[in-house]
Structure 1
Amino acid sequence: MGTIRLGIVGACGRGASFRTACEAMGDIAIEAVCDLQAEALGLAAARLGARRQFTDYAAMLEGCDLDAVIIGTPMQFHVPMAVQALRRDISVLCEVTAGVSIDECRDLVAACKASRGVYMMAENYTYMRPNVIVREMVRRGVFGQTYYGEGEYLHELKALNEKTTWRRTWQTGIAGVTYGTHSLGPLLQWHPGERVTRVCCAGSGHHCRDPRGNTYENDESTVMLCRLGGGGLLKIRVDMLSDRPHA
Structure 2
Amino acid sequence: MEQQLKEALLDKCREMEIPVVGVANVERWEKPLFQPWIPEEFYPHSIYPEARSVIVIGLPVTLPVLETSPSIYYRELYKTMNSLLDQYTYRLSSFLTEKGYPSVFVPRDGYGSIKVLLDNPVAFFSHRHAAFLAGLGNFGVNNTILTPEYGPRIRFGTIFTTAELESDNTMEEQLCNHCMRCVRMCPSNALEEKNYPQGITDKKACASFSDELNKRYVSPCGICIKVCPIGEDRRTYRREDASMYENKDDFKEYHNTWEHVRPYGGR
Q: Answer 1 or 2: which has greater strand percent.
A: 1
Q: TM-score range by the shorter chain?
A: under 0.3
TM-score if structure 1 supplies the norm length?
A: 0.27
TM-score (norm: length of structure 2): 0.26
Higher relative CO (CA 8 A, sep ≥ 6), structure 1 or 2?
2
